[in-house]
Amino acid sequence: MQTLTQTLAQTPTLSGGFTEAPQQSARAFRAVMNVMARPGMIETLDLALPPAPLSVAAGTLALTLLDHNTPVYLAGKWDCAAVRDWLTFHTSAPFATAEEADFAFGDWDALQPVSAYRIGTPEYPDRSATLVVEMTALSNTGAILTGPGIKDSAQLSLPDVAAARANTALFPLGYDLFLCAGDQLAALPRSTKVRTV
């Protein structure tokens, strides 16, 4: 028996994508939208098998949202031939620097400095980057979240509370985060207010 990790390590460029793209991308987007609309919520997103170090959740998110119109920045060890080839074949997204990217993939350390990413303009705050942060685990512990999408308050294990607070202070400008761990997905939009316990 192979472990999931072994299977992932052997995923060739051409496989691991959606087998019925319209239906699977619709289901994937429902999970993606739910977590963005409800910061703190953790959903399972496991419809693609990307090559390591891209997680299952981040790979499925990439297939759902990326195409030739979305420049992608790969940070640190995520910038490898396996990930580049897989994303190119399945999404045809062009690669770009952190400053030009619509989407950035990597762990929190590799994605630094976050000041490099686009935060939109006062007239067009939507012209901002979305960071897909790879984490070792996700749980409803740690920082306390309040704001749009949250009834009273929620808790989420964030990679960096101070950076999240600085990003919220820029509202309506700022970048938005997706947090991935294996096949788990959560989000932290710029509108969420973050405080420590």
Partner 1 sequence: MSDYNFAYLDEQTKRMIRRAILKGLAVPGYQVPFASREMPMPYGWGTGGVQVSAAVLCPEDTMKVIDQGADDTTNAVSIRKFFEKTAEVATTETTKEADVIQTRHRIPEQDLREDQILVYQVPIPEPLRFLEPSEVETRKMHALEEYGLMHVKLYEDIARNGAIATSYAYPVKVEGRYVMDPSPIPKFDNPKLEMAAVQLFGAGREQRIYALPPYTQVVSLDFEDHPFDPSKADHPCGLCGSEDSYLDEVIMDDSGSRMFVCSDTDYCQSRRAAGHVGHQGVPFEEVSA
Closer residue to partner 1 (CB): 157 or 168: 168
Residues numbered 139-168 forming contacts with partner 1, rule: CB under 8 A? 147-151
Work out whether 126 is an interface residue with partner 1 (CB under 8 A): yes
For residue 94, the minimal CB distance to partner 1 (Å) is 15
CA quadruple 12, 80, 180, 110: dihedral, nearest 10: 170
For residue 53, the minimal CB distance to partner 1 (Å) is 24
What single-letter DSSP state applies at residue 2? -
Closer residue to partner 1 (CB): 77 or 195: 195
For residue 28, the minimal CB distance to partner 1 (Å) is 10
Taking CB under 8 A as the binding criterion, the range among 1-9, 111-119, 124-132, 136-144 that sits at the site for partner 1 is: 124-132
User: Residue 156: which H helix or E strand, with range?
Assistant: strand 154-156
Q: How far apart are CA 123 and CA 56, in angstroms?
A: 35
Binds partner 1 (CB under 8 A): choice among 43, 107, 176, 183: 176
Q: How far apart are CA 92 and CA 74, in angstroms?
A: 14
Closer residue to partner 1 (CB): 8 or 117: 117
Helix (H, G, I), strand (E, B) or coil at 116: helix
Binds partner 1 (CB under 8 A): choice among 29, 89, 96, 157: 29
According to DSSP H, which parts of the chain are helical?
A: 4-9, 21-37, 56-65, 81-91, 161-168
Work out whether 60 is an interface residue with partner 1 (CB under 8 A): no
Work out whether 19 is an interface residue with partner 1 (CB under 8 A): no
Q: Angle at CA 40, nearest 5°, toward 49 and 165?
A: 110
CB 26 within 8 A of CB 17: no
Note the residues at the interface with partner 1 (CB under 8 A).
21-23, 25-27, 29-30, 32-34, 36-38, 64-67, 69-70, 102, 121-126, 128, 130, 147-151, 171-172, 176, 189-191
